[in-house]
Amino acid sequence: MGFYPRALRPERTLRRQPAGNTYTQAVKVDLFRKYLRIVEEKFFPEDKSKETKQGETSEEEAARKIQAAFRGHQTRKSIMKSAKPEPEPTRAELEAEFRADDKDVVNAATKIQASFRGHQARKQTQAEKEKEMKEQQDKEDIEKIDLTDPDLNKAATKIQASFRGHKVRKDVN
C-alpha cells in the first residue's frame, strides 16, 4: 500500500477483504471518494456547511448535474435542427417597409454605406502596405545572400540532383 499518497490510502477494513474483482472495485471507489473529499475540502471549503438538495450524496448530485447538462445539450441540438432560416424579404416588401422619400432612412443608409466604404478602403490600403513591406523585405533578404558561400553551392547542387532524379523517375513511369 506504499504507492498511494497517505491521504488516498484505502480504508483498513478494505484491506482485510479477500482479493478479487470486488476488492479492486471497492478500493477504486474508496480512492475516488477520498480524492473527491480532498478536492472538495481544498477548493470548496464553504460547501461543508451546505447540504445538498434533499440529502443527496455527492455522487447523486454529480449525476444530476451531468444529466442536466446532457439534456440541455440535446435540447439545443434539436432546436438547431428545427430552426429554419427566415427567407430574404422581396424587393416589394422592402419598398413597402422603407419608403425612398423618408429622409431618416436615406440618411441612415448613406451613413452605413459611407462607413462600410471607408472600412473597405482602409483594409485595402493596409493590405497594399503589407504587400509592399513584404516585397521590400524579400528583396533585402535576397541581397544579403552570399553567392560565394561553398555551402550554398553544395545545397544548390543537391537540389538540382534531387529534381533531376525526380524528373527521370517520373518519365520512366
For residue 11 the three cell numbers come to 480504508
> Is residue 51 scored above 70 in pLDDT?
no
Angle at 16 between CA 15 and CA 20, to 5 degrees: 75
Contacts 24+ apart (CB under 8 A), 3-6: 4/31
Question: pLDDT tens for residues 76-124?
Answer: 888 888 777 778 888 888 888 888 888 888 899 999 999 999 999 999 9
What pTM value is reported for the model? 0.35
- Name the range with the highest mean pLDDT among 9-18, 98-107, 147-156, 159-168: 159-168
The per-residue pLDDT for 9 is 54
